[in-house]
Structure 1
């Protein structure tokens, strides 16, 4: 029997994901939003629009959530829980705090419901193409049930482990990428201070063992001013680093490097980083200004 899918959060990433779920032949219900463009497009493609989370929950065997973070996920699940049919699966595709994820999973299990964490890797372009990656935390049984729907929008699906493990791995992944962003920004500012321009810096790093895809995306802005080279906001980066801190605290582990990277983003956000328009590579400008550096 074809699963009935609900999707909440059809924005920058969610629209493409939902579009590919429809293309794979699933019945799809989406939650209405004041941003009508993505919703209207999906309805034109055959989706149904629900007027409330409760209405969407009652019509869905599987509900995908693509929301800013744990606070929004908790609030949405609280609205849906009483209307979800027994055995339903909620798939949190947000980058969320695993401490919250585990508590939500336990709460839903008591109601005969299932929570899967499947945070994303990739860009809005890859979401439209159906070539995202997913890091999935779920029991083997629930993973088997939900994988066909995830396959509709992800070309790489990795079953990391049990519930919560997907979000744990996503935060470790983001720790690496956001840590690199903080280091690149500081290195470029220091370089300018001592007479090494960004262009000279890049000529030494590009093609070396320190080069990587993330470096090239970051430098696409630092060198060429491509403001949309990595459309992931500074505020979301700060949120993720705070979740990493929460995970480390829950594990009883010091994480000084993570906190140092978090503080780079916190300084940028607190000194004017625009929540909707300033993205990860733009950190280079904030670190430069904090150090009295005019980037070349």
Structure 2
């Protein structure tokens, strides 16, 4: 893979826009699929990216196709559906799925890509749109080691830390493990912050004591702006996406018979927040929603 490898990308949302921006910045000819869910494409086009209206046009232009869509149903639709990527995939094309997905679905998708003559990596990400724009994502990559090494220069265009997790599907599995721990910790702190609010503990005192003790860490830092001044922008992650990711984790745990009692409670917390406050509220607002219960 060279710096001039032509890349096609599907899913130019909050995270995908940052990925696309950095691919263009590093000199890759980039073709993106037009879609109502995309972020504005003006800056990408001004930087040299091309947009197309059909998947067939995108596959014709690309040697590598990057997906950054919502989840497994969207990945399956984009790849396997009528007029999907596999209908016009060129032999040897590499599909890199940066979405969050269920590992059992990923394995089915990867097999279908391989039958169609392509190659597949699952490469979900952690961190936020800020790091995506900065080219500083963390990537968890599942797939053949030789293919991973071949694609690493492309991944390095938009990622700071890149971990090869093992075979196909392990990247998506590790992403779900990560998000369960991350979102679970956020939910625990949010519930405690709501209790503190009701019991009269000052927000600054609550945050300071946790930060100096066992409650310190990334989750607290991401919640701190909302706890202290009602600013939710430090974690621009929709409550509905949290519910989806935790639902995926619960499905994965169920598939392999793993313990999941705590996971079920965390999932119920986010599901209740979506019902109470709507799907687009940012995760830090969980504090306020729980305080109102």
| Global fold match (TM > 0.5) | yes
Distance 2:216 2:37 in 1: 39
Matched, 1:89 2:94: yes
Match of 1:144 among 132, 135, 149: 149
Q: Deviation string for 1:259-294 (max 9, x for gaps)?
A: 110000000111232x33x1111111111112xxxx
Query: Corresponding residue for 1:62?
Result: 64
Which ranges in structure 1 are unaligned for 5 or more consecutive residues? 291-296
Greater Cα offset, 166-175 or 212-221: 212-221
- 1:132: how far off? 1.1
- Secondary structure, aligned partner of 2:253: helix
Q: Is this contact kept in 1: 2:207–2:220, CA < 8 A?
A: no
Pick closer, same or farther for the CA change 1:81–1:67 going to 2, 3 Å.
Answer: same
Query: Corresponding residue for 1:133?
Result: 138
- 1:141: how far off? 1.8
Q: Is this contact kept in 2: 1:97–1:167, CA < 8 A?
A: yes
Greater Cα offset, 26-35 or 215-224: 26-35
- 1:110: how far off? 1.6
Query: Corresponding residue for 1:53?
Result: 55
Distance 1:128 1:81 in 2: 29
Query: Corresponding residue for 1:283?
Result: 286
TM-score, L = length of structure 1: 0.92
- Superposition pairs for residues 4-23 of structure 1, below 5 Å? 4-23=6-25
Matched, 1:255 2:260: yes
Distance 1:289 1:242 in 2: 24
TM-score, L = length of structure 2: 0.93
Query: Corresponding residue for 1:293?
Result: none
Greater Cα offset, 203-212 or 91-100: 203-212
Q: Deviation string for 1:110-169 (max 9, x for gaps)?
A: 222122111111221211111111111111121122211111001111111111111111
Query: Corresponding residue for 2:184?
Result: 179
Q: Is this contact kept in 1: 2:72–2:102, CA < 8 A?
A: yes
- 1:191: how far off? 2.6
Query: Corresponding residue for 2:168?
Result: 163
Pick closer, same or farther for the CA change 1:33–1:209 going to 2, 3 Å.
Answer: same
Q: What CA RMSD, in Å, does the superposition of the two structures yield over aligned residues? A: 1.6
Match of 1:153 among 155, 158, 161: 158
Pick closer, same or farther for the CA change 1:100–1:198 going to 2, 3 Å.
Answer: same
- 1:24: how far off? 1.1
Task: Report how many aligned residue pairs link the two structures.
Answer: 288
Q: Is this contact kept in 1: 2:100–2:124, CA < 8 A?
A: yes
Greater Cα offset, 257-266 or 214-223: 214-223
Distance 1:205 1:266 in 2: 26
Runs of 4+ in structure 1 over 6 Å off: none
Q: Is this contact kept in 1: 2:14–2:39, CA < 8 A?
A: no
